[in-house]
Every structure is written in C-alpha cells, then in structure tokens.
Homo-oligomer: A and B are copies of this chain.
Amino acid sequence: MNTTRFSYPLKKIGLIGGGQLGKMTAQAAREMGFAIYVLDPQIQCPAASIADKHIIGSLYDSVKIRELAHLSDVLTYEIEHVDIETLKQLYDQGYPIYPSPYVLEVIQDKWRQKQVLAQHHIPVPKFQAVDDLNATFLAQAKFPLVQKARRGGYDGKGVAILRSIEDKEKILPVPSMIEEFVAFKKELAIMIARDKQGNIACYPVVEMVFDDRTNICDIVAAPATISPALAEQARKIAVDAICALDGIGVFGVEMFLTQDDQILVNEIAPRPHNSGHYTIEACLTSQFEQLVRIVSDLPLGSAKLLSPAVMLNLLGEAGYQGRPVITGLVETLSIAGLSFHFYDKSITRPFRKMGHITLLADDIETALMALDNVKKTLKIQGEDMIHD
C-alpha cells in the first residue's frame, strides 16, 4: 500500500480488549475516519458502541483473535493479558501487529522485562526470579522486599509487599520475582510513542499518586514537579527502555524517583496507559491518536503539553454496586477547564475505574486543590448497597 493514499475507511484497526483504553482508542480512530473492530468478552464493554464491530469473545480465544485479524488490516491491544501464541503465529506469517507480540511476551513476564532492561543498562530496582518463596529463601531474605507475580498483575494486583517474615501469609503462590523495596520520593511516568521508523514522540514526565486503599493510581499531575535535569534524565531512561525493547507503539513507562534522586524503571505497559489520559485535553496529540497513527503508518503527532493538567480517576465508591448513580456532577463541572469522562460501564463495583476527570490549570498546585474538592463532592455509587 502506498502510504500517501488512503481509501475510506482509512484503515481497519483490530483492537484486542474493549475496556476504557479501548473506548478512548476507538474514539480517536473514529474521529479520523478509521474503522475499528473490537474483541472483548463483555457485550456492553466500554468500546462496544463506539467500535464499528464488536466480536464477543475471550481475549484468549484463538479463533476469535483470528476472526478479528481477518476483518482488520492491523492488530493492536489495550491490555497485556491476551493469547500471545496466536498473535505470534499471525505475526510470523507477516500479519502486522503493534506492538509486536514478541515485545509483549517480554513485557508480560515481569522478570524477563526487567532482565532485558538490565541487560541494556536501564536502571531498575534490584531483582531476582524466585520459583518458591519457601522457608529457606525467607530465612536469608533481606526485608522489606516486594514479590511480584511474573504474569497477570494489574492495578496493584499480583504485588505483595513483605515488610518482615511476619508477612509470609501475604506471599503469592505463583511464579514470581522479588525486588528490593524502593522507598521512593515520587512515582513518575512517561508516555513514549515510537513508530516503525524508530521516530519517537516523548510526552512530559508526570507524577502518579496512588490510593493507599487500593494501590490504584489516583491522581496524575502533568508535568511532574521535578527539576528540569531530573525530567530530562527520566525522559532519556524511558526512551532508552523502549528502544531496548525495540517497541513500536505507545508505551507507559512507570518509574521510581528514589530518596537520593535516582530514577529506576518500575514497569512498562505496551499500550495507552492511565498515566496518559491527560494527553487528550492537555497535549497536541493524545496517546490514543498516537497509537492510531502508528498502526496506520501515519507520522507521529507532537507530544507537546499545551497546559499543565491534573487527572483524577473516578472509582466506584466502596459499599455500592449495580447501575451507577453519579452525584456532585453539577458542582464538579462548574470548575473551569474540567473535562469529565465516563467509561460507559453499566455496573459499578467498589474501586472499579468508572471514569476520570482532567483539569487544565495554569499551575498544578491550584489544580490539585480543586481536585481535593472534587474528591469530596463527586461520587459514583451504585443503585445497590453492599451489605457485609
């Protein structure tokens, strides 16, 4: 195909996973005239009604993935937990998939991911694979330490922090790796977009603040309040990490800023990332549009930040489930520069990611104060109370 000539629809993009990242990717694609087909097991998944077609099936269903590939010109995914063997077979037959399933395979296994990064001299916390955190291991272990399931974790799931041998009942009974416990000053993140020619669009360094209750990223402030030198160092490390993986696509690089101002890569997500939602309003090109551009052989857009921004995840309130009921929206939307996103999930659950808001403001401090009020005002409850 001549890349300077597109017939309508510009391209048919197959997307594995139809959650909120899929919905926002689909919206970016549809704005630009792309067709988008989504595979997701849930009939009412967030991306379903934005997509041109929704194939209902498991992300591990080889037949459904092949059906999606057959309909589409190119495949991508919004979640790591997919049938990688099928993707590898398709890829080996020449079917375009971005990021490559071989990159995904490395990232899926947290130990291999760290190993590749360490081999390329990317700074990471000290780590080691451990088949079994048995008595022998624990007897000589240096606490505190972090156990991570090698596969399958997300949003704090699959991670156990062991502060002493007393915490041994927290140990996850799965193949895992252990890492030193990093007493960080800040958690940082950067979105990196890298195209097939190796061109890179690097978004600003942002700061992530996590909810203590859930270990879900709660607030993202863009840009992070760190020195320009540290920001530059973080950007270099993030870019080097994606180059080390030879990643093509959009990547969220999560990093620790340690007490002594070291930057260590914590984890990489091979897809649009919660820490990049602010790019929709605050950057010239959103992370979602970048993914659409990359998989479609279009040039990268500018990642320039137009305005400081703060993003707040809207989680389902504890104690409620069922059809969402939103209170405080009028008060919230009266804040100038605030955008409200709701993910079209028809059922809320405690701490489920139901939406987010982004607030542009001249400075981060003012925006954070406004978000504090939003957190008190805006509630996503369900029609049903959960009784203990």
Contacts and interface: CB of A to CB of B under 8 A. Distances in A.
A198 to B, nearest CB: 15
A330 B299 contact: yes
A333 B7 contact: no
Given A342-B32, A346-B8, A298 B50 contact: no
Contacts of A289: 339
Residue from A52, A293, A298, A336 whose CB has the most chain B CB atoms within 10 Å: A336
Nearest to A2: B327
Contacts of A324: 7-8
A9 to B, nearest CB: 8
Given A32-B342, A284-B337, A331 B4 contact: yes
A232 interface: no
Contacts of A138: none
Contacts of A298: 329-330, 333
Contact of A330 (B50, B297, B301, B338): B297
Nearest to A53: B49
A136 interface: no
Sort chain A's interface into a size bin: 35 or more
B307 A337 contact: no
Interface in A261-305: 281, 284-285, 289, 293, 297-299, 301-302, 304
A326 interface: yes
A9 B7 CA distance: 35
A244 interface: no
Contacts of A326: 5-8, 10
Nearest to A347: B8
A362 to B, nearest CB: 11
A31 interface: yes
Nearest to A282: B306
A143 interface: no
A319 interface: no
Given A5-B326, A8-B323, A8-B324, A304 B355 contact: no
A342 B10 contact: yes
A160 to B, nearest CB: 34
Contacts of A302: 336-337
Contacts of A339: 285, 289
Contacts of A343: 33
A32 B3 CA distance: 34
A328 interface: yes
B342 A7 contact: no
B333 A33 contact: no
A352 interface: no
A206 interface: no
A7 to B, nearest CB: 5
A304 B336 contact: yes
Contacts of A293: 333
A284 B337 CA distance: 5
A325 interface: yes
Given A30-B27, A32-B341, A304-B337, A329 B6 contact: yes
Interface string A358-378: 001000000000000000000
Given A10-B326, A302-B337, 7 more contacts: A6-B326, A27-B30, A30-B50, A30-B344, A31-B342, A284-B360, A285-B339
| Top 3 A-B pairs, shortest CB-CB distance | A33-B342, A302-B336, A8-B324
11 contacts: A6-B327, A7-B325, A8-B326, A9-B344, A10-B329, A33-B341, A33-B342, A284-B336, A297-B330, A298-B330, A299-B334
